[in-house]
Structures are given as C-alpha cells and as structure tokens.
Amino acid sequence: MSEQVDLTTIPISPDGGNATAASSSEDSGNPVTVFHDKEHFNTIHPLTNKWTLWFTKPPSGKGDNWNELLKKVITFESVEEFWGIYNNIAPVSDLALKSDYHLFKDGVRPEWEDSQNKHGGKWSYQFKEKRTCNIDEIWLHTMLAAIGETLEDEQDGEVMGVVVNVRKAFFRVGVWTRTIGRSIPGRGDGDVAGGKGRSPEKGKEVLANIGKRFKQVLKLPASELVEFSGHTDAANSGSSRAKAKFTV
C-alpha cells in the first residue's frame, strides 16, 4: 500500500487550510468551494448525517484481533470535508490485499455485533475481473450515493454504511442495512425507520429498492445480480459470504 498522507493535514473546516487565503476569499465576497481550492475553501455544504470513515488493515498472520485491525480514520459532516478527506487518502486500487474501507453513519461501528447492525444485512457484489474494474470510480460513486442519501427514501432509515473489500481474486462492494426486511425486536412503537410497523412484504420492498439503486450506482447490466444476505447468517457460517436471501 502506498504511504498515506498525514491525516492531520486534511482540511476539515473553512479554517482548515491557509487562513489568510480563506479570509481573503471571504473579504472579496466570493464563495470558494473545495472544487475550486481543495485546501483554502470558505463554503460548507452540510450533509444530512455525520459519517465516519474506517479502515481495516491486512492481518499480520500472528493472530490479530479484529479490533486491532479496524481503525477509525475520521468523522465528517459536510461535502467539503468529504472531498478534503478523499483527496488525501490512498485510493482503493493502491490498498494491500485483505484491506477494507468502511464508510458508516457516525455512531455505528462496521461490525455485525453493533446494536444498529445486528438485526440487519447487506447488499453486495463481487468484481472478479480486477484488471478491467475501475474500483476507485466505483467506490467513489458508492460513497457519494451513501452520503447523498440517494440509496433509499428519506423515511426508510435502512442504510447504515458502505464497504469495499480488497481481496486476491476480487473487489467486493457492499451496502449494510439496519434490518433484513422485517421489524426489529424490542423497538419502540415510534420507531418506524428500520422496519418497525412494516409488513414483511413492505420490508422486502424497501430493501429491494435499495438493492436496485445500488445496482444502478455500480452500473451493472441487467444480467448481473446483486445479493442480499443477513449478518446473523454470515456470523453463524463464519464467513462474510452467507447464502443470499434474495437478489435483484
């Protein structure tokens, strides 16, 4: 993996780069976005949710604990912060084998056991032709769909995060959801998001729509299928490749 830029240098606010340059832009009354200057911007576009980027480094082969491999990189809440981070981290194509990027809503760990994930599942697709796969573009579009809240309708409350896995034989991209299409045990009556109050048919419809939008983001032909599987099934099988519950 190529050496990553020191994350403390990433501009994560209008005050983050060169203060003089930012002040000069503000004084002139001209808005400067991260698209004009990735360090000296003065305009912020807030996201609907805060998001946290995580990284899983490759195991050393010495019995590494998952928590030792999983590292929180940074949390952000604006379009400009996202691009500041994206422009300063290694692209997926440069990551070592058995590395992962995880982009999850703040407060949700990218783990099956997390309280907001344990009743859920994921849509996933494997790109097996690695040499012809533009994984950097695919992962960027997947992240933009997540933080732009376009993978689901506003009231759905299903999408928890997105993941990319770098493996020897493939790249795998996934979207994690809060449920597997039915109500979550123990939720309050007011919690409609995440399955409460939905019929199994409606729950499956919501998840299927997420899968279809995910498939569009990946620009897959109709003949290719994305698969949905439950985290509990994956945990019980001891593999992230559990049997698919359904496909689109």
β-pairing, 121-127 with 171-177? antiparallel
Is residue 69 a part of any domain in this protein?
no
For residues 154 and 201, state if they share a domain: yes
Does the model's pTM come out above 0.85? Answer: no
Q: Are residues 100 and 85 located together in one domain of the fold?
A: no
Count of domains in the chain?
2
Q: What is the pLDDT of residue 246?
A: 83
For residues 111 and 13, membership in a common domain is answered with no
For residue 61, being part of any structural domain is answered with no
Phi/psi of residue 135, nearest 5 degrees: -65, -30
Confidence class for position 62, pLDDT limits 50, 70, 90? confident
Q: Which residue has the higher pLDDT, 225 or 38?
A: 225
Are residues 150 and 235 located together in one domain of the fold?
yes
Compute CA 81 distance to the chain's CA centroid, rounded to the nearest angstrom: 15
Euclidean distance between CA atoms 187 and 115, whole angstroms: 12
Cα distance between residue 39 and residue 230, in whole Å: 41
pLDDT tens per residue, range 115-129: 999 999 999 999 999
Range of the domain at 39: 1-55+74-89
Q: How confident is the model at residue 143 (pLDDT cuts 50, 70, 90)?
A: very high
- Does residue 152 belong to any structural domain of this protein? yes
| Distance (Å, whole) CA 62 – CA 28 | 57
Average pLDDT over residues 101-109: 98
Clarify whether residues 235 and 171 are in a common domain: yes
